[in-house]
Amino acid sequence: TPAIRPLVAGNWKMNGMGESLAELRAIATGLSSDLGQKLDAVICVPATLLSRAAETLVSETVRLGGQDCHVKEIGAHTGDISAAMLKEAGADYVILGHSERRTDHHETDELVRAKTEAAWKAGLAAIICVGETATERQEGRTLDVIGRQLLGSLPDNVKSDTTIIAYEPVWAIGTGQTPTAEDVEKAHAFMRSELIARFGSEGAKLRLLYGGSVKSANAVELLGISNVDGALVGGASLKATDFLAICEAYR
Ligand code: PEP
């Protein structure tokens, strides 16, 4: 199988006002060296920052993403933003089905699947998140949960250039806790085999990110695990130095 180009994605969540654009600029500058040749990088900023962030990026070393989109393209949906709007504002990616959306906004696999189709239609690549809660893990249901979420959240015609999977154990997000390398390897090997079973050679090429308390201190270990093709980074994506230190794992 051909080598998969790594992707390191940042998720700023509901953080980042105008002054944060300096961090974005610093990330772009840091990746304009040979480091940027080794990976794809995307920062998913709050929607309010997208157009200014797009103007801020002087190089092509960093792409922009949104953190959610509506299933519809346009219409009476107060407070929502469509994939086409994200695209117009400068996004090339969108995170879908993040555990905070699944919890705070009761998003289901079916909805995530519909949003994925909407993202594709607008020309965005979808970063689709799956992952078990602490309780599900204690009950030994980790792989069941991931398998069900993958099955339900992914449409049938998945292409590896517009679909990225992020495995994010809910209990590892923002907690400083991470699974063991062995547990990550097991989860990613499971996802790979499920994806190949369903999508054939496209499944073999899909990028599988690990997310949950990734930082510079654990990046080399986590990103070195087989079938881990990058990271989805929350807290450590807010500062350019932290984000770039994680990207250094691929130098
Ligand atoms: C996330 O929210 O996608 C995430 C992985 O957060 P953190 O890196 O802060 O755990």
Kindly state if the Cβ of 168 falls inside 6 Å of ligand 1: yes
Measure the CA–CA gap between 49 and 24, rounded to whole angstroms: 11
For ligand 1, atom 5, the nearest C-alpha belongs to 212
Check 23, 107, 132, 168 and give the catalytic one: 168
Active site residue 98: yes
Ligand 1 centre distance from Cα of residue 160 (Å): 23
pLDDT at 21: 96
11 is annotated as contributing to ligand binding: yes
Q: Residue 130: which residues within 8 A CB-CB, separation 6 or more?
A: 97, 145, 146, 149, 150, 153, 165, 166, 167, 168, 191
Kindly state if the Cβ of 131 falls inside 6 Å of ligand 1: no
Low-confidence ranges of the chain (pLDDT < 70): 1-2
- ipTM for the whole complex: 0.97
pLDDT at 60: 82
In this prediction the pTM is 0.97
Domains for the chain: give ranges and CATH numbers: 7-250 (3.20.20.70)
Closest CA to 41 of 30, 56, 52, 55: 30
Q: Residue 151: which residues within 8 A CB-CB, separation 6 or more?
A: 109, 194, 198
Using CA atoms in the order 236, 9, 65, 39, what is the torsion angle rounded to 10 degrees? 130
pLDDT at 2: 60
Ligand 1 centre distance from Cα of residue 50 (Å): 20
Q: Residue 117: which residues within 8 A CB-CB, separation 6 or more?
A: 71, 155
Return the ∠ at Cα 94 (arms to 194 and 120), rounded to 5°: 70
